[in-house]
Structure 1
């Protein structure tokens, strides 16, 4: 019996860095088991070049990303999400659209690498750290026996993953 393929949406405010990194990581590491998407509540319309550079340096996909509004995924005909993860505290605190299919949600907040000011080396270090934190969370998701857990246990597991190393604590959701 083959397990179904799950749709996952990573949300952030600008959809330029953290959500793009998460989409790229899950796209590769979860291939065949997960479809990865990302969006923002107030997308900037561009991808941070350090996000693409970081994905490339770790041998992850760099093509096909675009900064888009989360409303795209609440519209008729959009892929129905199984999971929606906020990766920034601002998006976690915003009123999200009503997602078709009532996906499971969790907050997986980490610090914004795009907010780091300084040299390119300091900026790249912040992106590498964000990549590592997101890769850890996604690895934990991939190791979770989703089909064998009831809804309450799965929700608790998703929340626990969000508390992994590097978690921000600016906002906790009970979505």
Structure 2
């Protein structure tokens, strides 16, 4: 793998989980990573509760907004080294749709947008998913990706979901 690793986080609406992952990787990964996110059916805007989770933790002034995955599938698009599906629906996309030969992994997180209950309960759902993503990104940025073989990289990144200490929050790993 080259010195700078481009990572695309895919989700259904690109309004919460993938936006949080993109922002956290940009914050924690420094110059080692290019962080991007996109959705299968992008929302009109990032979810306010996702942005509220990011606000105290992310210093980057780079704006985040939902984008279509097709932007990254164009022949002239910057190739991604790693694509991480954040939900089962986005995991159905094929890595062959993207330029180059990206590594395709799955980290399925529950969608906090679907949380029911009071505003406080919804905010807690966003915080829980945010913390899960933060833990996983923290481990991810510490991996020696540049010295790993492709097959080892796929297995290691996919297995981060297995060792996540937040496993008590139900995660759909059927993909």
**For structure 1, which runs of at least 5 residues remain unmatched after alignment?**
none
**For structure 2, which runs of at least 5 residues remain unmatched after alignment?**
none
Specify the SS of the correspondent of 2:44.
Answer: coil
Indicate the residue corresponding to 2:152 in structure 1: 153
Closer, same or farther in 2 for the Cα pair 1:48/1:62, shift >3 Å?
A: farther
Task: Map 1:29-44 onto structure 2 (within 5 A).
Answer: 29-44=28-43
**TM norm structure 1:** 0.89
**TM norm structure 2:** 0.89
Indicate the residue corresponding to 1:118 in structure 2: 117
Does 2:171 align with 1:168? yes
Q: Is the 8 A contact 1:24 1:36 kept in 2?
A: yes
Tell me the CA shift for residue 155 of structure 1: 1.3
Tell me the CA shift for residue 145 of structure 1: 0.7
Does 2:119 align with 1:132? no
Indicate the residue corresponding to 2:64 in structure 1: 65
1:31-83 deviation line (CA, Å, top 9, x unaligned): 21101000001111211000111100334546411111100001132111000
Q: Distance in 1 between matches of 2:61 and 2:114?
A: 21
Specify the SS of the correspondent of 1:106.
Answer: strand
Closer, same or farther in 2 for the Cα pair 1:62/1:55, shift >3 Å?
A: farther
Q: Is the 8 A contact 2:27 2:58 kept in 1?
A: no
Closer, same or farther in 2 for the Cα pair 1:63/1:124, shift >3 Å?
A: farther
Does 2:59 align with 1:56? no
Tell me the CA shift for residue 152 of structure 1: 1.6
Tell me how many residue pairs correspond in the alignment. Answer: 170
Indicate the residue corresponding to 1:77 in structure 2: 76
Q: Distance in 2 between matches of 1:76 and 1:101?
A: 9
